[in-house]
Amino acid sequence: MKRFLVIAPHTKEGCAKAIQQIEAAGYITHFDWGCKDGEHCGWAIIEAENPKQALLVVPSSDRPQARAVMLTKFGTSEIGDSHR
Ligand SMILES: [Zn+2]
């Protein structure tokens, strides 16, 4: 299983709806939000097989704007290798 950072922006107008939909889908505890700082976006780390599957946590109305980035942890011995 891979881990993805799901980045799910929404508009200020769509804020309450976006959060309600994620709560209804059962993913509210996965998400952190920038809304109170004026950044209307949710971030969550989701385990999935691929980015498409990770994005299923985002309501379909906000999914076209959402992105999923695969996350990798490097150990100290790998840091040099990743830049070669
Ligand atoms: Zn918001």
- Mean pLDDT along residues 78-83: 64
Domains and CATH numbers, the chain: 2-82 (3.30.70)
pTM here is 0.87
pLDDT on residue 80: 63
Ligand 1 mean position, distance from CA 3 (Å): 24
Task: Please name the amino acid found at residue 14.
Answer: G
Per-residue pLDDT tens digits for 31-63: 999 999 999 999 999 999 999 999 999 999 899
> 32 has which bridge partners?
43
* pLDDT over 70 at 83, yes or no: no
Ligand 1 mean position, distance from CA 76 (Å): 37
Ligand 1 mean position, distance from CA 56 (Å): 19
Buried-exposed string 37-46: b where 16+ CB fall within 10 A, e elsewhere: eeebbbebeb
Ligand 1 mean position, distance from CA 38 (Å): 8
Ligand 1 mean position, distance from CA 41 (Å): 6
